[in-house]
Amino acid sequence: MSDLEAVDAPIAYHLRRYTKTDGRVLRLYGRQPHTLPVTEDLPPVDPPNPHLRWHPLRQEWVIYATHRQARTFMPPAEYCPLCPVAEGGFPGEIPFADFEVAVFPNRFPGMQADAHDPPGLGVPTAPSNGLCEVLVYTSDHEASYAALSADRQALVVQAWIDRYRDLLGESQVQFVMPFENRGEAVGVTLHHPHGQIYAFPFIPPVVERMLDGFRKTPDLRSDLLRQADDGLAVAGDDRMQALVPPFARFPFEVWILPKVFHAGPWSFDAAEIRSFATLIGKVTATYDALFDRPMPLIMLLYAAPKGAEHVFPFHVQFLPFLRDTNKRKFLAGCEQGAGTFLVDVAPEDMAGRLRDVAVTR
C-alpha cells in the first residue's frame, strides 16, 4: 500500500509512504511526486526483540540486539540493498527504479518499538523500546552528501526535520539523534551514501552530560560564536557558523551552530534550511580536500531531548578519524579506558588549516 502527500513546508516537497512486505513503512521524499511502480522488495525476516541491560559501574544502559550478527556486510555494489531496484532486479530495501531521498526502519535495529519480555538476570533489564531508521541521501551509489545539488541537500535536511517531528511524537522516545558513519575506518558496512536516525527511550549518557553542561554554562553557544571571530571559524554565513571548538577532542573536529537559538531544525525557516544544508556539504568537502582523500568521520546531529528545549541548543558535531594524510586517529587506552582524550593538533591550528581549504571549496 502507498499514499502520496504534498507537504506544505518552508520549502515544499512531496512525501510518498509505501508499506513494505514485512510491514515497515518506507518514506520517499521528493520535489516531484513519486509515482513509480513497485519492483522487487526484500522478503520478511523474523521480528527482532532487542533488550537493555544496566551497567552498574558506568551507570548506563547497554543494548543487546543479537539478530544484528546477520546484518548485511559490505556487499558488492550490484547487491547493495540501498540502491534502487529495477524490474526483475535483485531485491532491495527501496523497491523502485528511482527515488530522491528515502527513509525506512532498519531491518536489523538495535531498538524496536514493540520489544518485550527482556530476560531476567542479576542486573536490571528492560525492553529496548526505541526506533532505528535509515536515511538514504540519493539513488546514486557513487555519490556523497557533498556531491549533491544544494536543493537535494536541503531535501535531506527536510527529511531529518520530518522524522524528528514524528519520532519525538512517540510517547516512549526521549531523544532523537540522526547521524552518519562515513568510511570503513569507522565501521561502515554499506557504501551507499546514507545516514541513520536513532530514537532512544532514554536520554543517553553522553547527552545527559551535555545537557548538564549547557545548564551550567548557558552562554556556551554564544561564547563559541564569539570565539569563531578569534580564529576558530572554518566557514559560514549570516545564519550558520562552522567552527573548531576550543576544547576539540578529535583532530580537525568541527561544529556547526545556528546563529540564533534553535532547540532543533524543526523551527528553521527556508533560508536556515538551505544555509544549514549547504554548510554541511561545505564542511564535508573541506574534509575531503584536507588530505586529498575521503575523510572517514562521524557526523552527529544534536537536538534537545524532551523537556530541555529551552536550554539545549541544536548543533552538529563532526568527528574526523584522520590526523594526517595516512595517520588515523585511534581511540586507545587513555581514551577508551579513562575517557580522557589526547589531541595532537591545537584547535587554533586545526581551524586555520581547515579555513584555508574551505575558501577554495
CA–CA distance, 237 with 144 (Å, rounded to integer)? 23
DSSP string, 162-188: HHHHHHHTSTT--EEEEEEEESGGGT-
Instruction: Respond yes or no: is residue 194 known to be catalytic.
Output: yes
Termini Cα distance of the chain: 43
d(CA 53, CA 118): 9
DSSP of 213-264: HHHH-TTHHHHHHHHIIIIIEEEE-SSEEEE--TT-SSTT-EEEEESS--SS
Which of 263, 262, 257 has the alpha carbon at shortest distance from 228? 257
Cβ atoms of 305 and 175 within 8 Å: the answer is: yes
Identity of the residue numbered 347: P
175-185 b/e (C-beta count within 10 Å ≥ 16 → b): bbbbbbbbbeb
Torsion of CA 150, 245, 235, 360, to 10 degrees: -100
Marked catalytic residue, from 194, 262, 310, 315: 194
The catalytic residues are: 194
